[in-house]
Every structure is written in C-alpha cells, then in structure tokens.
C-alpha cells in the first residue's frame, strides 16, 4: 500500500480510538453477558442458538451503526472543519485520501469485530461449557459481517461525498435495510409482472445483497457455510465497495472545498 | 522562472440551491512573483485573498486561467511537495498532540522517516512550542494553534510558503516573532506569499504587495512604488502664536506647540500656503514632504467603492 494511504488510514483509526468509538464494546459485552447469564438460567437446550443469534446480530448492528455514523463524516467532517486544507495542499492525491479514510474505518471495524467475536465465543463457552465442531462456521458468519461493513462504509462515503451527513445516514441505512431484504425483493420481482417486475428486479439487483451475507441462522444451527458462497460473497463485496469508492472518488476529485 | 505565476486565473462559484447563480470570487488575475520574494496580498475581508490562496494550493479549481508554481501546474504532486500552506484560522485534528500532528504531516509530505523526529522537534522549537509538544491540540489557545499552523507549513522545508493571515490571533510578541520568522524564511531563499489586512505588517516585510478588492487586482508593486502614487502632502512649520485661518482653507491639518505651528497640507497647495505665510509675515522654519504610507495608498485605492459602506477590517 502506498505510504500516504497508510498514513491517512492510520490517522483515521487513531481518531476513532481517541474519540472512544471502541467504547461500544463495553455496551456489547454487557449485553452479551446479560444474555448468556439469562439464557444459562432458562436452559431449555436452545442456549447455543440464542447466544449465537443474538451475538452475531449484535455484532452486525453495532458495526453497521459505527460504519454509518463514522462513514458519513469521513470526508464531509474534514471539509466542514477545514482540516483537509493542510492535507490536500501536500502531495496527497484526492483518491489516496478517500481510500485511506475508507481503509482506516474498515480497520477500526475489524478491530471492533475481533473483540466482539471474542465476546461471542466466550458467551458460547459459558452457556455450552465446550466448543463443538460446527462452531467453526461462526467465523464464516463473522467474515460475512465484515464484508457487509465494507459495503456499508463505502456507501456512507459515497453518499457523504455529495449530500449532507443526515441524508447520507438515511440513504445508507435505507440501503442496508433494503439490501437485507434483497432476496425477498428478487422473489417478489420473479412473481410480479410487467413494469412492477422490471422495477423490482432492477432495484433488487442494484441494492447490495446483504441477505446473501446473512448466515447467522444457518451457523446458529451448526450448519456449515459453503466455500463457494464465501468466494462469491467476497468477490461481490469487494466489487460493490470498489464501485462505491470509485464513485466517491470521482465526485470528490471535482469538488471545490469552500 | 517565477516562483508563482497566475495567468488569467479566475474563480466563479455557483450559489443558491435552486436556479444557481454565478458569484465571481476572483476576476482574471495575472501575477508573477519571483523566487526569494516576500509578497503581500492585501485587501479587505471578502476581497478574494483566500480564494486566490486556495487556487494556488489546489484546494479549489479555477473556473478559467492557470496557476503555476516553480514552473509547474498546481495540481502536479511534485509541486505540492515544494509548497507549504497555513490556512486562515487553521483547524487541526484536535485529538492529536502537536508532535503527532507534525509527524503525520511530515509523513504525508514525504519527510524521510529517519529525519522526521528531529525535524518535528526543530519546528516545534522554532515556533516556541517545545513545552507543549505532547499536549493535545484541543487544549491549545488560538495563538498556539496559529504557531502549530506555521510549523506545519514549513516542516518539510518547502520552497514556496503560502500564509493566509499569519498574524491573526497572535499577541504583539507573537506577531513580532512571526515577522521575524518570515524574514528568516526569506534569508533561507524561500518565497513567501502572505495575505493580510494588517498594512503595517505588509509595509515592514514585503518586497512587493498586491492590493485586491472585490476579486479585482487594484495595484501591484513595491511598497515605495505604490505609495509614490498617493497624492503627496507636505509639512510646513513656522513660528506663530495662533494658526492662520487662511491655511485651514487650504486643507491644512495644524498642531500648535508653544509658538511653533506645524501644518500638513496637500502638496498642490504648498505655494499658496507659502504665500499666506509671507502675507502674514510669519517665519518659515521647515518644509518637508510627508512620506506616504501604504495605508494611504490602500485607503485612496479602495475608498471610492467603499465610501458608502466603509472599508472592511
């Protein structure tokens, strides 16, 4: 990686850490501990299912909230506060800045997810007393969650490059929700006719397909995740976020900073 | 080869949400600043000084025309390594310490890793912030932020330094230190382009100045050249116990000290004033041309347009 991108990324990560973004881990730990203790007391043989479901859903929601709320401010906050002036007057290309900011936030989410994943496994150990062979597939679910974060970050960055932070947050969250229902939307498009089918089909294929990356239920039941799905989701997430970042770069390249 | 050159450099912004209207921030500007010069860019608030600096540092793009630094287009990354920029009222990453901020900027500017730490310490010492090196910028006063801003602008040893209102927010001692720093930069062979509305600073420091108003260049040249264009005044002193009324009619501004009267009046009324003294049988002690200041040039140059609203600070 070029050193300027790495420097911008590291500074973005440092900003998130110093702005106490990782404090969300405390809330996550409290939530999961409470859930594990509660489920442990109920003990009706669904402890594992509940803990994995709740844990992975919490990892997704905590991460998505961070990805959206930091993502929308990655560039717009720097423009608003004019911290960009002293960066862009240096030999830093605008695309390097955007990519660096994106990677910095992605790094923050990776670290955050890593600690949350430890929390999920500890809670699982607490309720099951031991790990099972099928628990390994939880790592695949966590990997897919990280892929979702990549797309959410890139979308937040794209929207914030041309709209206000509030609208960017609304757009990104709306796309996350619609994208989580992408498979249903595709099903609806297949069942519909005429212009409705065409519209639903177009939207279903344009929005990010988060539902294909949601294997939480599957792994909670101890079912494995296929290698083919891992490959397809990886390629899809990388391409989708690369396109969104390219869009953000194209807009930012031409933008006058006031 | 000029250090800085603008050729018909102009900027128009589109303002408004619906039916966006163009607003001219800078009319075609042609300037040439030689290497090693200290160049002052003067004008009231909203004159187009900051827009020009943003155009010269690649922060905004010109609507027409071009700007060249050291013979290359502004957006050339090679050029960016050779320029330093202090924005007006700078705001930095306040979660960083002064040392961390300078290290970050040093890395972005390509300062070799082995030299970075010593270079940062040297800069902090140069702007008087060695003791605050490990303090987070959110705890800095406005004046301290201005000093950090100056340090980051010269950290990577640039050939051309752009300073937007560098004395802003500084106390008198701080201002004097910045003046000295700018002079040191000149001695090091750097070109300094700074905007200000504090005319005494420009007069004391600059080899040449340009005056801009409402996006239009009103004048450019050495301070002496510009002030020579000001309608001259003369000061005459003579012995008298009271100021003759006839001199007041000639536009004289008079002060009486004991029995010595000092009158400053337009140069063109000099002969008429001497006639008055002769008629009143008053003894002339001295007649001296009054040196015009940059302020007089500035006021005279901008006043016609500003009469109804007053010149901006």
* pTM reported for the whole predicted model: 0.84
Q: Does some domain include residue A125?
A: yes
Contact call for residues B203 and B50 (beta carbons, < 8 A): no
Q: Does some domain include residue A258?
A: no
Chosen from B15, B17, B59, B153 to mutate, greatest number of chain A CBs within 10 A: B59
Highest mean pLDDT among A61-65, A195-199, B19-23: A61-65
Query: What average pLDDT does the segment A200-208 reach?
Result: 89
B59 with A89: Cβ contact below 8 A? yes
| Chain B: residue whose CA lies nearest to A100 | B108
**Can you give the pLDDT at residue B16?**
75
Nearest to B87 among A15, A18, A86 (CB): A86
pLDDT tens-digit readout, A145-159: 999 999 999 999 999
pLDDT of B313 over the 50 cut: no
The CA distance from A86 to B87, in Å, is 7
Question: What angle, rounded to 10 degrees, do the helices at A94-128 and A227-253 form?
Answer: 150
Under the banding of pLDDT at 50, 70 and 90, the label for residue B308 is very low
Classify strands B208-213 and B216-221 as parallel, antiparallel or unpaired. Answer: antiparallel
Domain ranges of chain B: 4-228, 233-290
Chain A CB contacts of B162 under 8 Å are 89
Integer Rg of chain A from CA: 20
**Can you give the pLDDT at residue B177?**
87
Chain B CB contacts of A91 under 8 Å are 77-78, 80-81, 108-110
Residue B107 to chain A, least CA–CA distance (Å):
7
| Chain B: residue whose CA lies nearest to A256 | B60
**Can you give the pLDDT at residue A44?**
65
Higher pLDDT, B96 or A38: B96
* Boundaries of domain holding A167: 3-253
Residue A153 to chain B, least CA–CA distance (Å):
21
Query: What average pLDDT does the segment A164-189 reach?
Result: 91
pLDDT tens-digit readout, B97-135: 999 999 999 999 999 999 999 999 999 999 999 999 999
Give residue A230's Cα distance to chain centre: 16
* CA distances, B303 to each of A53, A241, B9, B44, B197 (Å): 74, 56, 25, 11, 15
The CA distance from B62 to B28, in Å, is 10
Q: Does A218 touch chain B (CB under 8 A)?
A: no
**Can you give the pLDDT at residue B303?**
63
Contact call for residues A69 and A105 (beta carbons, < 8 A): no
* CA distances, B34 to each of A1, A155, B4 (Å): 38, 46, 7
Higher pLDDT, B186 or B16: B186
Residue A236 to chain B, least CA–CA distance (Å):
32
Chosen from B48, B77, B108, B164 to mutate, greatest number of chain A CBs within 10 A: B108
**Can you give the pLDDT at residue B195?**
92
Residue A108 to chain B, least CA–CA distance (Å):
16
pLDDT of B310 over the 70 cut: no
Q: What is the mean pLDDT of chain A?
A: 89
Query: How crowded is the C-beta side of A99, counted as CA atoms within 13 Å?
Result: 16
**Can you give the pLDDT at residue B174?**
85
pLDDT of B137 over the 70 cut: yes
pLDDT of B292 over the 60 cut: yes
CATH architecture, domain defined by B233-290 = 2-Layer Sandwich (3.30)
pLDDT of A248 over the 50 cut: yes
Q: Does some domain include residue A72?
A: yes
Classify strands B283-290 and B64-69 as parallel, antiparallel or unpaired. Answer: unpaired
Numbered residues of chain B with Cβ closer than 8 Å to any chain A Cβ: 13, 54, 57-61, 77-78, 80-81, 83-85, 87, 90-93, 95-96, 104-105, 107-110, 149, 152, 156, 162
Contact call for residues B83 and B161 (beta carbons, < 8 A): yes
B194: enclosing H helix or E strand: strand B191-196
**Can you give the pLDDT at residue B138?**
92
Query: What average pLDDT does the segment B16-20 reach?
Result: 73
pLDDT tens-digit readout, B180-192: 999 999 999 999 9
Q: What one-character-per-residue DSSP string does B154-165 give?
A: HTT--SEEEEES
Query: What average pLDDT does the segment B150-156 reach?
Result: 95
The CA distance from B242 to B240, in Å, is 6
**Can you give the pLDDT at residue A43?**
61
Among A164-173, A230-239, B185-194, B238-247, where is mean pLDDT lowest?
B238-247
Other beta carbons less than 10 A from residue B228's beta carbon = 13
A83 with B78: Cβ contact below 8 A? no
**Can you give the pLDDT at residue B311?**
35
**Can you give the pLDDT at residue A85?**
92
pLDDT tens-digit readout, A97-137: 999 999 999 999 999 999 999 999 998 888 888 888 778 88
Helices (H), A43-180: 47-71, 76-80, 85-88, 94-128, 137-160, 165-180
Residue B158 to chain A, least CA–CA distance (Å):
10
Q: Any bridge partners for residue B210, and if so which?
A: B41, B220
A92 with B92: Cβ contact below 8 A? no
Classify strands B72-73 and B64-69 as parallel, antiparallel or unpaired. Answer: antiparallel
Q: Tell me the two tokens of residue B253.
A: 């501004």
Among B4-8, B57-61, B142-146, B288-292, where is mean pLDDT lowest?
B288-292
Note which residues in 64-83 of chain A have CB less than 8 A from chain B: 81-83
Q: Does some domain include residue A210?
A: yes
Higher pLDDT, B301 or A113: A113
The share of chain B scoring above pLDDT 90, in percent, equals 50
Residue B173 to chain A, least CA–CA distance (Å):
25
The CA distance from A2 to B131, in Å, is 33
Domain total for chain A?
1
pLDDT of B209 over the 70 cut: yes
Higher pLDDT, A145 or B247: A145
**Can you give the pLDDT at residue A33?**
78
Under the banding of pLDDT at 50, 70 and 90, the label for residue B78 is confident
Query: What average pLDDT does the segment A17-24 reach?
Result: 83
**Can you give the pLDDT at residue A131?**
82
Q: Does some domain include residue A81?
A: yes
Contact call for residues B182 and B211 (beta carbons, < 8 A): no
A35: enclosing H helix or E strand: helix A24-42
| CATH 2.40.30.10 applies to domain B4-228 | no
pLDDT of B25 over the 70 cut: yes
Under the banding of pLDDT at 50, 70 and 90, the label for residue B75 is confident
């Amino acid at each position: 990686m070029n050193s300027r991108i790495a420097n911008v990324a590291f500074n973005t990560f440092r900003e998130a850490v110093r702005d106490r973004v990782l404090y969300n881990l405390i809330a996550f730990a409290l939530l999961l501990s409470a859930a594990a203790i509660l489920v442990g007391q109920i003990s009706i043989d669904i402890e594992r299912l509940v803990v994995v479901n709740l844990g992975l859903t919490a990892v997704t929601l905590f991460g998505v909230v961070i990805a959206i709320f930091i993502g929308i401010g990655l560039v717009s906050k720097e423009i608003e506060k004019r911290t960009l002036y002293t960066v862009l007057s240096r030999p830093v290309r605008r695309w390097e800045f955007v990519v660096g900011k994106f990677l910095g936030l992605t790094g923050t989410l990776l670290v955050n997810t890593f600690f949350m994943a430890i929390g999920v496994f500890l809670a699982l150990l607490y309720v099951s007393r031991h790990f099972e062979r099928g628990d390994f597939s939880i790592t695949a679910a966590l990997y897919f969650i990280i892929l979702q974060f990549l797309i959410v970050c890139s979308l937040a960055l794209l929207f914030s490059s041309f709209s206000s932070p509030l609208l960017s947050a609304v757009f990104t969250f709306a796309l996350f929700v619609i994208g989580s229902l992408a498979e249903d939307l595709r099903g609806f498009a297949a069942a519909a006719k005429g212009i409705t089918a065409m519209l639903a089909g177009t939207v279903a294929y344009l929005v990010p397909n988060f539902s294909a990356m949601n294997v939480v239920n599957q792994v909670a039941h101890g079912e494995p995740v296929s290698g083919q799905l891992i490959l397809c989701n990886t390629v899809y997430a990388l391409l989708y976020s690369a396109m969104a970042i390219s869009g953000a770069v194209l807009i930012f390249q031409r933008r006058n900073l006031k | 080869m000029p250090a800085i050159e603008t050729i018909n450099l102009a900027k128009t912004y589109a303002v408004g949400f619906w039916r966006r209207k163009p607003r001219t921030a800078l009319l075609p500007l042609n300037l040439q600043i030689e290497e090693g010069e200290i160049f002052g860019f003067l004008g009231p608030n909203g004159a187009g000084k900051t827009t020009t600096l943003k155009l010269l540092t690649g922060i905004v793009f010109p609507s027409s025309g071009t700007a060249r630094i050291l013979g290359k287009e502004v957006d050339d990354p090679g050029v960016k390594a050779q320029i330093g920029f202090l924005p007006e009222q700078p705001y930095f990453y306040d979660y960083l310490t002064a040392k961390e901020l300078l290290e970050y900027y040093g890395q972005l500017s390509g300062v070799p890793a082995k030299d970075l730490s010593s270079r940062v310490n040297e800069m902090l010492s140069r702007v008087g912030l060695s003791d605050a090196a490990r303090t987070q910028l959110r705890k800095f006063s406005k004046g301290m932020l201005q000093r950090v801003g100056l340090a980051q602008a010269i950290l990577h040893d640039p050939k051309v330094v752009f300073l937007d209102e560098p004395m802003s927010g500084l106390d008198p001692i701080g201002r004097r230190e910045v003046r000295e720093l700018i002079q040191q930069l000149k001695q090091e062979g750097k070109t300094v382009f700074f905007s200000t509305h504090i005319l005494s600073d420009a007069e004391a420091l600059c080899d040449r100045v340009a005056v801009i108003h409402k996006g239009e260049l009103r004048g450019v040249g050495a301070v002496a050249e510009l002030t020579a264009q000001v309608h001259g005044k003369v000061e005459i002193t003579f012995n008298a116990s009271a100021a003759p009324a006839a001199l007041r009619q000639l536009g004289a501004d008079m002060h009486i000290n004991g029995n010595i009267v000092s009158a400053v009046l337009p140069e063109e009324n000099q002969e008429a004033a001497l006639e008055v003294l002769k008629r009143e049988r008053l003894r002339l002690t001295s007649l001296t041309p009054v040196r015009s200041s940059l302020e007089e040039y500035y006021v005279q140059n901008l006043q016609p347009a500003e009469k109804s609203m007053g010149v901006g600070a």
